[in-house]
A and B are shown apart, each in its own frame.
Chain A
Amino acid sequence: EVQLVESGGGLVKPGGSLTLSCVASGFTFSHYNMNWVRQAPGKGLEWVSCISGSSAYIYYADSVKGRFTISRDNAKNSLYLQMNNLSAEDTALYYCTRDSIMAYWGQGSLVTVSS
């Protein structure tokens, strides 16, 4: 069974940093590109970033480019999102998803940016 489990969310002050993690199981992690997708409270879905299986290709939404860094450790079946210079607009539930066609989603990790 495919499972994606996010962690690392929490309350952070504006300008602060946070790193999210996603541990994958039930499939060969290195064979799939992975994404981070976020959803602000009461709002729609926003794709944040994706990374190919070998980390050769990485893309970011314009809204996070230069502030967020996606990475993965295939030996640990883990996906990461380093988030710097956070603002209130980054407050959201952050989902880890598998592949371009997102059939699998984690339960999400809540990031709240507030003073």
Chain B
Amino acid sequence: ETVLTQSPGTLSLSPGERATLSCRANQNFSSNSLAWYQQKPGQAPRLLIFGASTRIPGIPDRFSGSGSGTDFTLTISRLEPEDFAVYYCQQYGSARTFGQGTKVEIK
């Protein structure tokens, strides 16, 4: 089973700052089959990025994904108030698994 480990668990930042979220896999999986989701309290997750770096239409370009192999990163270039939420990575190259999440909170 592919295990995804996200770090840090919590990121305390101010609006306007840059957020860098990490997702590391315990083994390679196919074709950079990695997605990122945002979840706000009481809501279902929202897909942001797939294929490690392809943004879904309508997602602001301050969100970017990068990485390959076993190391992936979600970067939010300048945090807006609506970006404070929990972020999950998910692999779909070998069955499916989610990381445990990174909470981006207001400092």
Contacts and interface: CB of A to CB of B under 8 A. Distances in A.
B63 interface: no
Interface of B: 1, 33, 35, 37, 39, 44-45, 47, 50, 56, 86, 88, 90, 92, 95-101
Q: 6 tightest A-B contacts by CB?
A: A100-B92, A105-B44, A47-B96, A59-B95, A44-B101, A101-B50
Contacts of A35: 96
Q: In the complex, which of the residues B39, B44, B47, B86 has the most CB atoms of chain A within 10 Å of its own CB atom?
A: B44
B35 A101 contact: yes
Nearest to B49: A101
Contact of B96 (A50, A103, A105, A108): A50
Contacts of A44: 86, 88, 98-101
Contacts of B86: 44
Interface of A: 35, 37, 44-47, 50, 59, 61-62, 95, 100-103, 105-108
Contact of B35 (A61, A62, A102): A102
Contacts of B33: 100
A74 B23 CA distance: 35
Contacts of A95: 44
Contact of B47 (A50, A59, A101, A107): A101
Nearest to A60: B95
